[in-house]
């Protein structure tokens, strides 16, 4: 392995955007079947032999980190289904330029792993929870998972993750009536709620009762006397508002009604080592064949730079809603 010819030049795409955030899928498996993410009966999972090993993942993250990518988020599927995940976190946390390791989870397994993940180096977590109604959660996820998610949230608080963000995909006629209740719950519990527009990825995403969050935001600003947040919260696309005392915070992710393509700072890597440049476009670049053919560190960095050159200017969810046929779970969230 060639370890002495790395580059420290920042990763800039052809539209002048600095890429400093890698979303990293460690599995495409999940124990839930959320209606907007993975269809019931789905069998198109990647073969485990094609999953990147922990040493391969660490090599890729190290290459990104030498190019000033300091934020890493572990995703899935459900990342807590990947055995030995704290071991991977420990490896990533030793990389000098990695300054922030976070985790996206459905929290059904979090009560078992929260302490170990926090000790290994996970700083903060995002938890998917679309409803506070047990029956609605079961309808959306395909499983009676509400109790285990709530137990996971409390375990996350005890472990000391900060912040803990709750992701609520808003679906018209499904859970939109619960938004005020969810806001109040998060303010009381010290969580940061993020309301998300459903993205039309695969047949599941296109059938998710899309709802424009603009009017929702305006109503919540009035009802809860919110003002724009004074500081950045994480490195993602959410636009945040807060209560006057700053104790309650609320984020909006609106890729359809108010896209954030001009400031997109991330790429995604699937469990098989495929880099995805955009959720709403087809451009991708496969790293696994290069890693398993003995590519040098310098060659790996060059390959990543070549991949970033494929990153498109914007998605086409508004113009071409049927373009992307892969499901969210295949891309890494």
Query: d(Cα 195, Cα 255) in Å, to the nearest integer?
Result: 11
CATH number of 21-331: 3.20.20.70
Burial 196-207 (b: 16+ CB within 10 A, else e): bbbbbbbebbbe
Q: What pLDDT tens digit does each residue of the chain (333 aa) get?
A: 444 444 558 999 999 999 999 999 999 999 998 888 876 777 778 999 999 999 999 999 999 999 999 999 999 999 999 999 999 999 999 999 999 999 999 999 999 999 999 999 999 999 999 999 999 999 999 999 999 999 999 999 999 999 999 999 999 999 999 999 999 999 999 999 999 998 764 454 445 578 999 999 999 999 999 999 977 777 778 899 999 999 999 999 987 765 678 889 999 999 999 999 988 778 899 999 999 999 999 999 999 999 999 999 986 655 555 545 455 556 665
Phi and psi of 51, rounded to 5°? -65, 140
* Pairing status of strand 266-269 against strand 21-25: parallel
Residues sharing a CB contact under 8 Å with residue 107, sequence separation 6 or more, in sequence order: 127, 128, 129, 148, 149, 152, 153, 156
| pLDDT at residue number 331 | 65
Residues sharing a CB contact under 8 Å with residue 168, sequence separation 6 or more, in sequence order: 129, 130, 131, 175, 179, 182, 193, 194, 195, 196
Verdict on whether the full-model pTM lies above 0.95:
no
Locate the DSSP E strands across 93-215. 100-105, 124-128, 164-170, 192-197
């Amino acid at each position: 392995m060639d370890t002495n010819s790395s580059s420290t030049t920042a990763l800039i795409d052809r539209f002048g955007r600095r890429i400093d955030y890698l979303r990293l899928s460690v599995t495409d498996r999940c124990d839930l079947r959320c209606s907007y993410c993975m269809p019931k009966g789905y069998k198109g999972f990647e073969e485990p032999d094609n999953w990147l090993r922990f040493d391969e993942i660490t090599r890729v993250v190290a290459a990104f980190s030498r190019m000033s990518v300091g934020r890493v988020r572990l995703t899935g599927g459900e990342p807590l289904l990947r055995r030995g995940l704290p071991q991977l976190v420990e490896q990533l946390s030793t990389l000098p330029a990695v300054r922030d390791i976070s985790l996206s989870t459905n929290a059904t397994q979090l009560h078992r792993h929260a302490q170990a993940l926090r000790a290994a180096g996970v700083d903060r977590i995002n938890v998917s929870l679309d409803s506070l109604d047990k029956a609605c959660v079961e309808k959306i996820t395909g499983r009676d998972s509400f109790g285990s998610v709530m137990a996971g949230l409390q375990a996350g608080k005890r472990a000391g993750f900060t912040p803990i963000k709750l992701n609520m995909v808003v679906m018209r006629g499904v859970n939109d009536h619960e938004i005020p209740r969810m806001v109040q719950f998060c303010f009381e519990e010290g969580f940061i709620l993020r309301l998300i527009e459903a993205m039309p990825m695969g047949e599941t995403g296109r059938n998710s009762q899309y709802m424009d969050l603009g009017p929702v935001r305006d109503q919540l600003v009035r009802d809860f006397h919110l003002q724009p947040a004074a500081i950045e919260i994480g490195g993602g696309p959410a636009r945040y508002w807060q209560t006057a005392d700053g104790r309650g915070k609320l984020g909006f992710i609106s890729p359809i009604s108010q896209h954030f393509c001009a400031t997109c700072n991330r790429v995604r890597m699937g469990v098989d080592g495929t880099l995805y440049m955009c959720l709403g476009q087809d451009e991708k670049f496969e790293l696994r064949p290069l890693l398993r053919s003995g590519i040098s560190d310098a060659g790996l960095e060059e390959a990543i730079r070549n991949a970033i050159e494929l990153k498109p200017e914007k998605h086409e969810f508004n113009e071409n809603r049927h373009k992307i046929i892969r499901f969210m779970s295949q891309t890494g969230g």
